[in-house]
Structure 1
Amino acid sequence: MSSGVDGVPPGVDTSVPSPARVYDYWLGGGHNFASNRALGERILRIMPGVRDAARLNRSFLRRAALFMVERGVRQFLDIGSGIPTVGNLHEVVQAEAPGCRVVYVDRDAVAVAHRELLLAGNRDTAVVQADLRDLDAIFAGPAGGLLDLDRPVGLFMLLVLHFVPDGWDPAAIVAGYRDRLAPGSYLAVSHTSAEAKPAGMAEAVRAYNDSSAGNQAFPRTRDEVLAFFDGFDLVEPGLVGCPSWRPDDAGDFAANPEINEVPFAGVAVKP
């Protein structure tokens, strides 16, 4: 796969892998650099099922988004949205309910630059370059202008909180978003499990952490991930392996049952 990346933003060190661009590579995207492909391939050799895990997460995004649209949600906030690829959140929800508003947030300059290109001309979308901890910047900027915080919002935090160290208090970060959202808002979370034990996973995490400067992965237990839903009511089937969250058919599952448990996934509503 070639990178297909033009117009790299100033100051971006393409020799350093980033979560967004490694994930893009695993999904078959074209917005990645040699460093991302090298790390992605190294981890695939250690844990071949990691590409399936990325696919399972993308399928969960679609199912969770459609679930929220069916319940009347028409505005969405995607934190850690990553590089645009097939099945972006705005594509899913706007195809189902035209006029849905979507704000994407990522700290990766390349992810933001490509989202800006993708979203050009779509007045119901916006993109913000910000750290997920900087709620004031997020809500005072395009999110504040596009989203009506007096009405329910669908908040997505998919495969992003496992990059947040305990010292940042990720549960408190999520609570900060919760407190700004109206009752009836939904939260969708996926997160790498510390309880799943597919072959090569522990070594793959070490390889990622050794190779990705400033981006460390922190798999967590089920109870630790459940803490992110404090103040929300989990909807059925609760916090489960990613493909087990309201699957459409057998195609939502990986052939290796251990990979199906790698990402936790859950959706909850703010009462």
Structure 2
Amino acid sequence: MAGEWAPTGIDTSRPSPARIYDWLLGGKDNFAADRAAGERILRAAPHSVTAARENRAFLRRAVEYLTDQGVDQFLDIGTGLPTRDSVHEVAQRRLPGARVVYVDNDPIVSVHARALLSSTDNVALVEADLRDPAAIWADAQVRELIDFTRPVAVLLLAILHFVPDEDDPHAIVASLLSRAAPGSFLVVTHSTADLAPELSREVEQVYDGASASLHTRSRNEVERLLTGTEPVEPGLVFTSQWRPAPGTDVADPKEAALYAAVGRKP
């Protein structure tokens, strides 16, 4: 809409994956280009709102599981725009002293996250790129909040499918895990074309015009990302199938559309 405010230097004419995701979740931190891209995605894949919501619901369940295991350190990379039940909210409800570092390379995410997190203890936002794990681990805020000698949960939700094969997502994940202490956890969700290849390609074409392109991957390829970890039951499944709360309706995997897994570093 006319007159929408944006931070200086932000290109609002080009869709952003973080802002498209915000729109799919019903958020308000998006612009006309993001909404137009979101509408194109919904025309190609009407279940995309369900997929986004199931991804968030999986995040909540995974963090609850991790806090039950005593994990009180979280590194959420590719966090996206803050929304309800973000990692620190879920973790600190269960473990008030839990520490969370959010990492994202989208400047508008930084603007909104810093404003919301300014009065929250033990939480920081680092503007960095997933493709440079060494810079993430070396960041002063990361080193201040994360104790590398103790288990940490590394969260990579709906972010690795924006890393093309030429940037070697498997090596990126391995590098991140190499600094994590034994007993740490890797949490991953990833879009797939296994269920509907033609539909997935239409969605990929929408992201071709965004600030990051989408690269769906097969189950075997996603499973490779978990190399070096021991999968937590039920293993690699669709988001809606990972430890759903008893008595809840489980979304059709075709609508969830993202693989999900939690792996433990031995």
Determine if contact 1:3/1:31 at 8 Å carries over to the other structure: no
* Count of residues paired in the alignment: 265
Unaligned stretches of 5+ residues in structure 2: none
Q: Residues 170-189 of structure 1: matches in 2 within 5 Å?
A: 170-189=169-188
Contact in 1 for aligned 2:186/2:262 (Cα 8 Å): yes
Identity of aligned residues (%): 48
Q: Which of 221, 225, 228 in structure 2 is aligned with 1:224? A: 221
SS of the counterpart of 2:75? strand
Q: Say if 2:59 is the partner of 1:41.
A: no
Q: Please report how far the alpha carbon of residue 238 of structure 1 lies from its aligned counterpart in structure 2 after TM superposition.
A: 0.5
Distance 1:184 1:155, change over 3 A: same
Q: How far, CA to CA, are the matches of 1:3 and 1:27 in structure 2?
A: 22
Please say if 1:263 is aligned against 2:258.
Answer: yes
Q: Equivalent residue for 1:12? A: 10
Alpha-carbon shift at residue 251 of structure 1 (Å):
4.2
Does the CA-based 8 Å contact 1:83-1:111 persist in structure 2?
yes
TM, length-normalised to structure 1: 0.93
Matched, 1:156 2:155: yes
Consecutive unaligned residues of structure 1, counting only runs of 5 or more, are none
2:237 to 240, 255, 261: 240
Q: Using structure 2 for the length normalisation, give the TM-score.
A: 0.95
Which runs of structure 1 show a deviation greater than 3 angstroms over 4 or more consecutive aligned residues?
A: 2-6, 198-201, 249-252
Match of 1:112 in 2: 110
Alpha-carbon separation, structure 1, partners of 2:247 and 2:49: 17
Shift in Å, 1:136: 2.8
Per-residue deviation at 1:252?
5.7
Q: Is the 8 A contact 1:240 1:265 kept in 2?
A: yes
Superposition map of 1:206-225 within 5 A:
206-209=205-208, 211-212=209-210, 214-225=211-222
In structure 1, C-alpha distance between the alignment counterparts of 2:240 and 2:197, rounded to whole Å: 16
Could you report, residue by residue, the CA deviation over 1:114-149 in whole angstroms, capped at 9, with x for unpaired residues? 110110111200001111122232222211111101
Q: CA deviation at 1:231?
A: 0.8
The code of the aligned residue for 1:131 comes to D
